[in-house]
Amino acid sequence: MAAEKIAIGLLIALIAAIEIALSFDIWLDSGSDYCEKLQESSNGFQDFLMWVTQHLTYLFAALMMLAIILEYNYLVGLELAFIYTIVNVIESLMKASIGYPRPYWIDSNVEGFSCSEGFGDPSGHSMMVVAIFPYAVYRTTNNYLYYVPVAIFDILVLHYRMYGGYHSYSQVVLGTLIGGYILYIAISYFNYLNFYIESTKKIWGFASVIAFCFIVMMAAVLLYAYREVYWEDEWSDNIEANCNRIDGEDAKVNTLFGTFTVFFWLGAVSAYWYSDYMRLKDNSIKIWERVLRILIVFGAYEGFYFLMAIDYGALSVKAFMNIVLSYLQGFLCCGGIPLLWAIGKGIKPSENSPQDPESAGMLNTEKD
């Protein structure tokens, strides 16, 4: 089975290499033409769906992850947080490595519905929806009826990434393949993922997370320092007219900051050290309290993104603030706020009932 997974991974790597090699000369041109063709049938309803898939995809993913942490299963929620982190890190490092533009950046006939400052290849939205939503269904209910709305939403996201001029079809296909492979590996080895998360409560496990952060940061900094944006003179009037704050340097900075999601994961596992203090599935909490708790956690999650968007001046200061805020976002939203909630209610570790395999996240999701 391991050989099969390696073979699939190598096949996807080969497809990625072909896509990268031919994209700037072939796929971007034909992909831009396809985006233009899709936009010819533009109407208010399609524009609305495009807005939903553009702005709410990551919000839905975050809300689902936080709700599972608070209301269903802490460890399963952390599994989703890890996948969320991996998707963002791989997406950012690949975008920085490939450095290809979005269709509306280079083709003035393609309308850009909003400004996206990061590079375009592969599609991060495609990676996210294909990887995280099906995994959430698999690890919670594994009811095939729930896969239907997930599949519909995923297809809408893939379609409207092209309709909105954000990605060529090759960028969407590459993102879909990578996201699907992440999903495949996560489902195949979810028990190992669960063990890894539990191991972060030990010094060696936590040290491995710190090492992971260091490796990602070194790779990101090197890509930022040495990756040249060689196609910048081909940008279309769309950038100059609507997104004049974007240039090659901005795209590199945006991609660099995307890798800081790894510190979100560091914050999440830091909060996990205190999980014995939390009674996340406490049915004695009133419904309105549970709803309020989710709203507070989700509001804090989004609030940190607002703080990250503030211009703190020099790049080094911006980078430092984004790292700190990403860490605090992971710590507070994946455990810290529920911890404070538990302390405020006077809950002590001894009041927690021992976790059985199901409540610890070791659900048997295999169907008979």
Compute how many other C-beta atoms are within 10 angstroms of the C-beta atom of residue 315: 13
Mean pLDDT of the chain: 82
- Mean pLDDT across the stretch 10-17? 84
Q: Which two tokens mark 315?
A: 């790049």
DSSP 8-state secondary structure symbol assigned to residue 346: T
The one-letter amino acid code at 306 reads F
Domain of 190 in residue numbering reads as: 2-351
Distance CA 122, CA 168 (A): 9
- Could you give the count of Cα atoms lying within 13 Å of 96 in the half-sphere of its Cβ? 28
Q: What is the CA radius of gyration of the chain?
A: 21
Say how far apart CA 282 and CA 261 lie, in whole Å: 30
> What percent of the chain lies above the pLDDT cut of 90?
29
Residue 279 contacts residue 352 (beta carbons within 8 Å): yes
Provide the CB-side half-sphere exposure for 38 (13 A, CA).
25
> In which band, very low, low, confident or very high, does the pLDDT at 238 lie, cut at 50, 70 and 90?
low
Given this model, what pLDDT does residue 363 score? 36
Looking at per-residue confidence, does 290 or 331 come out higher?
331
Reported confidence tier of residue 93, pLDDT bands at 50, 70, 90? very high
- Rounded Cα–Cα distance for residues 297 and 333 (Å): 5
Mean per-residue pLDDT for 233-237?
A: 58
Give the pLDDT confidence score for residue 357 in this predicted structure. Answer: 37
Judge whether 361 lies within some domain.
Answer: no
Instruction: Specify if 200 maps to a domain.
Output: yes
pLDDT at 31 over 70: yes
Mean pLDDT value across residues 170-195: 92
Mean pLDDT within 144-166? 91
Residue 356: how many other CB atoms lie within 10 Å: 8
Residue of 299, 301, 290 lying closest to 328 (CA atoms): 301
In a domain, 184, yes or no: yes
Task: Select, from the ranges 174-188, 242-256, 302-316, the one with the highest average predicted confidence (pLDDT).
Answer: 174-188
* Distance from C-alpha of 5 to C-alpha of 1, rounded to nearest angstrom: 6
Whether 89 has a pLDDT exceeding 90, the answer reads yes
pLDDT band at 348 (very low <50, low <70, confident <90, very high): low
Q: Would you say residue 296 has pLDDT above 70?
A: yes
For the chain, what is the domain count?
Answer: 1
- Whether the pLDDT of residue 367 is over 60: the answer is no
Decide which of 347 and 73 is more confident.
Answer: 73
H or E segment at 48?
helix 44-55
What pLDDT does 278 receive? 54
> Greater confidence, 154 or 234?
154
Instruction: Note whether residue 95 is domain-resident.
Output: yes
Confidence of residue 280 (pLDDT cuts 50, 70, 90): low
Whether the Cβ atoms of residue 125 and residue 155 lie closer than 8 Å to each other: no
- The torsion region of residue 142 among left (phi > 0), alpha (psi -120 to 50) and beta comes to left
Query: Please, are residues 87 and 132 in contact by the beta-carbon 8 Å criterion?
Result: yes
pLDDT at 279 over 90: no
pLDDT band at residue 101 under the 50/70/90 scheme: confident
Residues 103, 27: contact at Cβ < 8 Å?
A: no
Is pLDDT of 170 > 80?
A: yes
Q: What is the pLDDT of residue 359?
A: 42
pLDDT number for residue 136: 94
Per-residue pLDDT at 161 exceeds 80: yes
Question: Is 350 or 348 the better-scoring residue by pLDDT?
Answer: 348
Instruction: Tell which residue, 275, 279, 260, 276, has the closest CA to residue 328.
Output: 260
d(CA 96, CA 145): 38
Question: First vs last Cα of the chain: how many Å apart?
Answer: 20
* Best mean pLDDT range from 58-62, 84-88, 105-109: 84-88
**In this predicted structure, what is the pLDDT of residue 282?**
55
CB of 358 closer than 8 Å to CB of 102:
no
Is residue 360 assigned to a domain?
A: no
